[in-house]
Amino acid sequence: MEDYKNILKDIGLRFRVERTRKMLSQEKFAEIANVHTNYIGKVERGEQNLTVKKIVELANSLGIPVRNILSL
């Protein structure tokens, strides 16, 4: 059985990988996504419980398909 904390960490890692592929800092990603820099840090560390809506918004902010984030 999956633990949601591990899934959040996996999702956060995928956001970090995609962000760094785009050569964006956390600050620039936060600016584009219209969220606070601390929020991006929490997402990438798997500390932020994300809604599906927020996952879609963040993926769209990076210009990537949501499936890149959710393919578990």
pLDDT tens readout for residues 28-43: 999 999 999 999 999 9
What is the pLDDT, as a whole number, of residue 58? Answer: 98
- The tens digit of pLDDT for each residue in 12-29 reads 999 999 999 999 999 999
3-state helix, strand, coil in the chain (%, to 5): 70, 0, 30
What is the pLDDT, as a whole number, of residue 2? Answer: 79
What is the pLDDT, as a whole number, of residue 72? Answer: 59
| Fold type of domain 4-70 | 434 Repressor (Amino-terminal Domain) (1.10.260)
Q: Among positive and negative, which fits the CA dihedral 62, 63, 67, 68?
A: negative
**pLDDT band at residue 71 using 50, 70 and 90 as cut-offs:** confident
Question: What's the pTM?
Answer: 0.93
